[in-house]
Amino acid sequence: MGGRLILSQAALPVKPWSRRLTLTGGSRENLPMERPSYNNGTTPGPRQQRRQQAARRLSEEGLRLIAQQGLAAAKVVDITAAAGVGKGTFFTHWPSKDAFVADLLDQVLTDLARRVRPLGLPPPTDAEVLVADVAAAHLRFFQLNPEAAALTNQALALDSGGRAHRAAVARLGEHLDMVAEMIAPAGEQLGWPRQRAKELALAVVSLAGGFFWLGGSLGLGADTPLELLDRLGRALARGLAR
Please report the pLDDT score of residue 242 as a whole number. 67
Q: What is the three-class DSSP state of 198?
A: helix
Q: What does the pLDDT look like over 139-192, one tens digit per residue?
A: 999 999 999 999 999 999 888 888 999 999 999 999 999 999 999 999 999 999
pLDDT at 41: 57
Q: If you count them, how many residues does the chain have?
A: 242
Rounded Cα distance, 104 and 152, in Å: 9
Tell me the pLDDT band of 240, cut-offs 50, 70 and 90: confident
Residue 230, pLDDT above cutoff 80: yes
Res 10 pLDDT > 80: no
Could you give the maximum distance between any two Cα atoms of the chain, in Å? 60
The alpha helices in the chain, defined as continuous H runs, are 46-69, 76-83, 87-93, 97-116, 127-144, 146-154, 163-189, 197-218, 226-240
- Three-class SS state of 27: strand
pLDDT at 15 (0 to 100) = 36
The pLDDT value given to residue 44:
73
C-alpha span between 103 and 98 (Å, rounded): 9
Where do the domains of the chain lie, and which CATH numbers do they carry? Answer: 18-240 (1.10.357.10)
**pLDDT given for residue 159 in this prediction:** 84
Q: Supply the pLDDT for residue 167.
A: 94
pLDDT digits (tens, 9 = 90+) for 18-46: 333 333 333 333 333 333 333 445 677 88
Q: Which residues contact 1 (CB under 8 A, 6 or more apart)?
A: 9
Cβ atoms within 10 Å of 178's Cβ, excluding its own: 17
Average pLDDT, the chain: 84
Residue 23 confidence (pLDDT): 32
Three-state DSSP class for residue 241:
coil
User: What is the pLDDT, as a whole number, of residue 5?
Assistant: 29
Contacts of 184 (CB under 8 A, 6+ apart): 194, 197, 200
Lowest mean pLDDT among 42-56, 81-95, 205-219, 226-240: 42-56
Q: Do residues 151 and 109 touch, judged by C-beta distance below 8 A?
A: no
Q: How far is CA 90 from its chain centroid? A: 21
